[in-house]
């Protein structure tokens, strides 16, 4: 299986791909440059549609707008060029930023914030009323997330710990607890980054500085690996009408002589696996 290079905006940190089911278009970001991109596979057209200081992650709202998670714990709603600030900042996150986010079945959002010089990263829950609650701490770098098909567990990647953990997840209360390590890549090249879960419950994990995308069985056993012409493979999301295309982002931090010819580009794969439609957020939607 060979990845297809779709578009090449040469992102410094391409990340956060998410499929907008209503629009049938893919969105993704360049985190450090604060750029939001959109790709229409029907017309094979991409464009940059927004820019701000930082965008760590994106969710699609139930009304079709987007939530942009930025620096200092900021959350902004974007719709057709209009931007509304929902959360200006989170106490204790002034020197940090959001890194990856995911909506849950109730429309809440879980988002990790980066570690700083004097503390480790944190995981927050943003409820539908816009309130923010810290639900876990102690992450070297909180990263990609996904739900098991039965919705009993939430996977959270801790990149610099080289592992993906499964937290018990309570759908009604939004609480997470009792983490256990499911995937441990200690001793392998690179670190686990963004991820998604397919229709069979298998984990697809991007490997930053490892140049590949890896598929794991629910018990953590590696079952497939796809190499990319980019050292920093950052995240993955399934899309298209039948959710059979895996869209993969990459980063170009140090130039293509070092990072690879495809660094910073957006790729597509068509694996023998189907994705699941991501949940939409409903934060401050009324």
- The separation between CA 130 and the C-alpha centre of its own chain, rounded to angstroms, equals 20
**31: which strand partners?**
none
Rounded distance, CA 51 to CA 34, Å? Answer: 5
Q: What phi and psi values does residue 56 have, to the nearest 5 degrees?
A: -90, -25
Q: Which of 71, 158, 193, 198 is catalytic?
A: 193
Which residue has 């109730």 as its token pair?
A: 106
Rounded distance, CA 75 to CA 122, Å? Answer: 16
Rounded distance, CA 128 to CA 21, Å? Answer: 21
Q: CB–CB of 227/205 below 8 Å?
A: no
Q: CB–CB of 149/218 below 8 Å?
A: no
Cβ atoms within 10 A of the Cβ of 171, count?
A: 13
3-state secondary structure of 224: strand
CA 107 → CA 11, 278, 282, distances in Å?
29, 11, 4
Active site residue 168: no
- The separation between CA 260 and the C-alpha centre of its own chain, rounded to angstroms, equals 22
Residues tagged active-site: 193
């Amino acid at each position: 299986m060979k990845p297809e290079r779709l578009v090449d905006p040469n992102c410094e940190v391409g990340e956060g791909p998410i499929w907008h089911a209503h629009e049938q278009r893919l969105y993704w970001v360049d985190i450090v440059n604060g750029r939001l991109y959109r790709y229409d596979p029907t017309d094979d057209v991409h464009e940059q549609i927004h820019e701000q200081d930082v965008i760590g992650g994106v969710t699609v709202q139930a009304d079709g707008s987007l939530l942009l998670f930025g620096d200092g714990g900021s959350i902004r709603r974007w719709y057709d060029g209009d931007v509304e600030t929902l959360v200006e900042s989170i106490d204790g996150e002034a020197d940090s930023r959001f890194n990856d986010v995911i909506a849950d079945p109730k429309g809440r959002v879980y988002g990790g914030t980066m570690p700083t010089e004097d503390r480790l990263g944190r995981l927050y829950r943003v409820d539908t009323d816009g309130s923010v609650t810290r639900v876990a701490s102690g992450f070297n770098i909180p990263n990609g997330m996904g739900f098991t098909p039965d919705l009993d567990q939430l996977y959270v990647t801790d990149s610099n710990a080289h592992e993906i953990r499964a937290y018990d997840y309570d759908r009604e209360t939004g609480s997470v607890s009792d983490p256990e390590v499911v995937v441990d890549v200690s001793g392998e090249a690179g670190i686990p980054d963004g991820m998604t879960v397919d229709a069979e419950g298998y984990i697809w994990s991007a490997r930053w500085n490892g140049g590949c995308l890896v598929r794991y069985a629910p018990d953590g056993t590696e079952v497939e690996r796809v190499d990319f012409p980019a050292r920093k493979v950052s995240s993955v999301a399934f899309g298209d009408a039948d959710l059979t295309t895996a869209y993969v982002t990459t980063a170009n931090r140090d130039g293509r002589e070092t990072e690879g010819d495809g660094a910073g580009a957006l790729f597509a794969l068509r694996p023998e696996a189907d994705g699941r439609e991501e949940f939409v957020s409903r934060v401050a939607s009324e």
